[in-house]
Structure 1
């Protein structure tokens, strides 16, 4: 569990002008419009395997601590890192670098994700708030430009979906992992790597009600799903 101070994080690092414009809108305005179908979108079968790898990678960070290969450590950084790694080829070298090369790990790993070259590069071309494309995108951009709105009912979330909160000058992304929710506080110290996990039932009863993920909370924007996933 984490304190209120630890929980309140600033995850958006968009430029001041763009951030001010985005925050001037009510929470519901941050919901992205339905994007045109992506020709590189994953099939339902590929999407299921992606989700399994995405969740497994986030879980590994929680269990073993952040890998040195993950450098941008905040809530959006965790999402981008896990998506990037889920889309990679998970060969023996990758498994060793990510601490998943034990016999026990091998028995729990998802099947390999079969993708073409364009699909492998999806996490290198996030659309930013200003319309440019690249490997970096803020929390707002990840949900507004790269995801589709699912629901404000967390019962509709699938593993790997994103929960987005808007506190006015604070935005925060969490990752739905089915049994629990994972996130990064945005702060790293010598004694705290910033990673947190909380049971869904605990978050629904969080003392600071602004962080409770239910429809009646105006600060909870909703559940979002990567636009390249099907469904």
Structure 2
């Protein structure tokens, strides 16, 4: 595993869309809003987490799914959320390489969702208040997640770790055994996907990426707003 991070994941995505990243993200904590009537129940949330983690793990182990085209840290989060909310029928399993021997026994139970719940990850709220399938890393945190803690021991599988390096921001995904992220750079020989053990990240040589309360660059652990709890 290469021990390097790409610091401009969110900034590059925003620049490509002509969006300016304003101010330190620490000042852009999630806004309070009315409960989403389509929010998942506790039981649904547990199953969603299992699918979300399984999909991210699949990308790490077997390489990016061809339909995942927005290759950066926020893109990985959006893709996994959308796919976790889909119906995982035989066609989906085949398209995502999960129909091999032994896969079925390791897959989570199917999510029983309403048609509206299926679309939750295609109607993210952006910084300007508009809604759509694309959303930046900052908007994922500020408008679509809730702050949990700056103590990673409070993280659940599928939660997001958010780092603010001033002009550069980055998302990582807590998968319990390890943390997954995308560098934002893709080459013919490098998918940009990385995984790091939690214990290794806590002792990372570049202390800006250490996820603990004393690191001013670590904003904290965040959870999708549509999950309960």
Q: TM-score range by the shorter chain?
A: over 0.9
Distance 1:32 1:2 in 2: 32
Task: Flag the 1:175–1:166 CA change in 2: closer, same or farther, 3 A.
Answer: same
How far does residue 85 in structure 1 lie from its aligned partner after superposition?
Answer: 0.1
Task: Flag the 1:8–1:14 CA change in 2: closer, same or farther, 3 A.
Answer: closer
Counterparts in 2 of 1:55-134, with a 5 A limit?
55-134=53-132
How far does residue 17 in structure 1 lie from its aligned partner after superposition?
Answer: 7.9
Cα deviation 1:75-122 (Å, max 9, x = unaligned): 000000000000000000000000000231000000000000100000
Q: Which runs of 4+ in 1 moved over 6 A?
A: none
* Ranges in structure 2 where 5+ consecutive residues have no aligned partner: none
How far does residue 18 in structure 1 lie from its aligned partner after superposition?
Answer: 5.4
Partners of 2:26 and 2:164 within 8 A in 1: no
Cα deviation 1:49-72 (Å, max 9, x = unaligned): 000000000000000000101000
Distance 2:63 2:165 in 1: 28
Aligned to 2:2: 2
How far does residue 8 in structure 1 lie from its aligned partner after superposition?
Answer: 2.4
Normalised to the residue count of structure 2, the TM-score between the two structures is 0.95
Aligned to 2:52: 54
Partners of 2:41 and 2:228 within 8 A in 1: yes
Partners of 1:18 and 1:130 within 8 A in 2: no
Aligned to 2:14: 14
Which residue, 153, 160, 163 being the options, matches 2:161?
A: 163
How far does residue 31 in structure 1 lie from its aligned partner after superposition?
Answer: 1.6
Partners of 1:54 and 1:160 within 8 A in 2: yes
Aligned to 2:197: 199
How far does residue 29 in structure 1 lie from its aligned partner after superposition?
Answer: 1.4
Cα deviation 1:9-68 (Å, max 9, x = unaligned): 3224336885342xx24x431221333210000000000000000000000000000010
Aligned length: 227
Task: Flag the 1:18–1:32 CA change in 2: closer, same or farther, 3 A.
Answer: farther
Distance 2:14 2:174 in 1: 24
Aligned to 1:40: 38
Distance 1:77 1:101 in 2: 24
Partners of 2:63 and 2:191 within 8 A in 1: yes
Normalised to the residue count of structure 1, the TM-score between the two structures is 0.94
Distance 1:91 1:20 in 2: 39
How far does residue 182 in structure 1 lie from its aligned partner after superposition?
Answer: 0.2
Aligned to 2:184: 186
Aligned-pair Cα RMSD in Å: 1.4
> Tell me, what secondary structure is at the counterpart of 2:14?
coil
